[in-house]
A = this chain, B = another copy of it.
Amino acid sequence: MRTLTLISCALLPLALAAQTVQSPDGNLILNFSLSGQGEPTYELSYKGKPVVKPSRLGLELAKDKHASKQMDETSLMQGFVVANTTTSTFDETWQPVWGETKDIRNHYNELAVDLHQPKEQRNMVLRFRVYDDGMGFRYEFPQQKELNYFIIKEERSQFAMAGDHTAWWLPGDYDTQEQETQETKLSGIRSRFNQAVNWSNSSVSVFSPTGVQTSLQMKTDDGLYINLHEAACVDYATMHLDLNDTTMMFESHLTPDATGMKGYMQTPCQSPWRTIIVSDDARDMLASNLILNLNEPCKIEDTSWIHPTKYVGVWWEMIVGKRNWHYTNDFPSVKLDTEYWKTATPHGNHGATTANVKKYIDFAAANGIDQVLVEGWNVGWEDWANMWKRDVFDFVTPYPDFDLDELNRYAQARGVKLMMHHETSSSTQNYERHLDAAFNLMNRYGYDAVKTGYVGDIIPRGDHHYSQSTNNHYQYVIEQAAKHRIMVNAHEATRPTGLCRTWPNMVGNESARGTEYEAFGGSRPDHTLILPFTRLQGGPMDYTPGILETQLNTWSENPNTIHTTLVGQLALYLTMYSPLQMAADLPENYAKYADAFQFIKDVPCDWQDSRYLEAEPARYITVARKDKKSDDWYVGGKCNEDGHKSVLKLDFLDKGRSYEATFYVDAPDASYDKNPKAYKIFKRKVKAGDTLRLTQAPGGGFAVSLKAK
Say if the beta carbon of A417 comes within 8 Å of chain B: no
Say if the beta carbon of A345 comes within 8 Å of chain B: no
Say if the beta carbon of A329 comes within 8 Å of chain B: no
Say if the beta carbon of A521 comes within 8 Å of chain B: no
How would residues 360 to 396 of chain A score, 1 for a CB under 8 Å from any chain B CB and 0 otherwise?
0000000000000000000000010011111000000
Shortest C-beta distance, A147 to chain B (Å), equals 9
Contacting residues, chain B, for A433 (C-beta < 8 A): 432, 476
Shortest C-beta distance, A631 to chain B (Å), equals 44
- In the complex, the answer to whether B333 meets A143 with C-beta atoms within 8 Å is yes
With known contacts A66-B386, A266-B389, A432-B432, A257–B461 Cβ distance under 8 A: yes
Most B CB within 10 A of own CB, among A383, A388, A457, A472: A388
- In the complex, the answer to whether B257 meets A151 with C-beta atoms within 8 Å is no
Contacting residues, chain B, for A432 (C-beta < 8 A): 429, 432-433
CA distance A287 to B585 in the complex (A): 70
- In the complex, the answer to whether A149 meets B331 with C-beta atoms within 8 Å is no
- Contact pick for A461, options B69, B264, B387, B429, CB 8 Å: B264
CA distance A472 to B121 in the complex (A): 43
Among A54-101, those with CB < 8 Å from B are 64, 66, 69-71
With known contacts A149-B333, A460-B460, A461-B469, A69–B144 Cβ distance under 8 A: no
This chain: how many copies in the complex?
2
Please, which residue of chain B has its CB at the minimum distance from the CB of A263?
B388
Most B CB within 10 A of own CB, among A71, A429, A463: A429
- Contact pick for A148, options B151, B259, B333, B386, CB 8 Å: B333
Among A454-492, those with CB < 8 Å from B are 457, 460-463, 469, 472, 476
Say if the beta carbon of A267 comes within 8 Å of chain B: yes
Say if the beta carbon of A145 comes within 8 Å of chain B: yes
CA distance A243 to B652 in the complex (A): 82
Say if the beta carbon of A642 comes within 8 Å of chain B: no
- In the complex, the answer to whether A332 meets B143 with C-beta atoms within 8 Å is yes
How would residues 159 to 172 of chain A score, 1 for a CB under 8 Å from any chain B CB and 0 otherwise?
00000000000000
CA distance A259 to B461 in the complex (A): 6
CA distance A249 to B387 in the complex (A): 34
Chain A: how many interface residues by the 8 Å CB criterion? 40
Contacting residues, chain B, for A151 (C-beta < 8 A): 388
With known contacts A143-B333, A387-B70, A462–B258 Cβ distance under 8 A: yes
Please, which residue of chain B has its CB at the minimum distance from the CB of A145?
B332
CA distance A206 to B259 in the complex (A): 17
CA distance A266 to B333 in the complex (A): 8
Shortest C-beta distance, A502 to chain B (Å), equals 15
- In the complex, the answer to whether A266 meets B462 with C-beta atoms within 8 Å is no
Shortest C-beta distance, A154 to chain B (Å), equals 16
Shortest C-beta distance, A377 to chain B (Å), equals 23
Among A187-209, those with CB < 8 Å from B are none
With known contacts A460-B258, A463-B258, A463-B460, A149–B388 Cβ distance under 8 A: yes
- Contact pick for A333, options B259, B261, B267, B389, CB 8 Å: B267
CA distance A262 to B457 in the complex (A): 17
Shortest C-beta distance, A607 to chain B (Å), equals 35
CA distance A393 to B433 in the complex (A): 18
- In the complex, the answer to whether B71 meets A387 with C-beta atoms within 8 Å is yes
- Contact pick for A144, options B149, B332, B389, CB 8 Å: B332
CA distance A70 to B386 in the complex (A): 9
Please, which residue of chain B has its CB at the minimum distance from the CB of A389?
B266
Say if the beta carbon of A281 comes within 8 Å of chain B: no
CA distance A387 to B332 in the complex (A): 44
How would residues 296 to 336 of chain A score, 1 for a CB under 8 Å from any chain B CB and 0 otherwise?
00000000000000000000000000000000000111010
Among A220-277, those with CB < 8 Å from B are 257-259, 261, 264, 266-267
Shortest C-beta distance, A198 to chain B (Å), equals 15
Among A498-552, those with CB < 8 Å from B are none
Among A384-427, those with CB < 8 Å from B are 386-390
Say if the beta carbon of A436 comes within 8 Å of chain B: yes
Contacting residues, chain B, for A333 (C-beta < 8 A): 143, 148-149, 266-267
- In the complex, the answer to whether B463 meets A64 with C-beta atoms within 8 Å is no
Contacting residues, chain B, for A469 (C-beta < 8 A): 390, 429, 460-461
Contacting residues, chain B, for A335 (C-beta < 8 A): 266
Please, which residue of chain B has its CB at the minimum distance from the CB of A386?
B66
- In the complex, the answer to whether B266 meets A149 with C-beta atoms within 8 Å is no
Please, which residue of chain B has its CB at the minimum distance from the CB of A204?
B65
Among A128-171, those with CB < 8 Å from B are 143-145, 148-149, 151
Shortest C-beta distance, A171 to chain B (Å), equals 17
Contacting residues, chain B, for A386 (C-beta < 8 A): 66, 69
- In the complex, the answer to whether B461 meets A261 with C-beta atoms within 8 Å is yes
Contacting residues, chain B, for A258 (C-beta < 8 A): 258-259, 460-463
CA distance A691 to B462 in the complex (A): 63
- In the complex, the answer to whether B387 meets A69 with C-beta atoms within 8 Å is yes
CA distance A460 to B461 in the complex (A): 9
New contact pairs (8) apart from A149-B388, A460-B460, CB-CB < 8 Å: A66-B387, A257-B462, A258-B463, A267-B332, A390-B469, A429-B460, A432-B432, A462-B462
Q: List 13 A-B contacts (CB under 8 A).
A: A64-B388, A144-B332, A148-B332, A148-B333, A149-B333, A258-B259, A258-B463, A266-B335, A429-B460, A432-B432, A433-B476, A460-B460, A462-B462
Nearest first, the 8 closest Cβ-Cβ pairs linking A and B are A258-B258, A258-B462, A460-B460, A259-B462, A148-B333, A149-B387, A264-B388, A66-B386
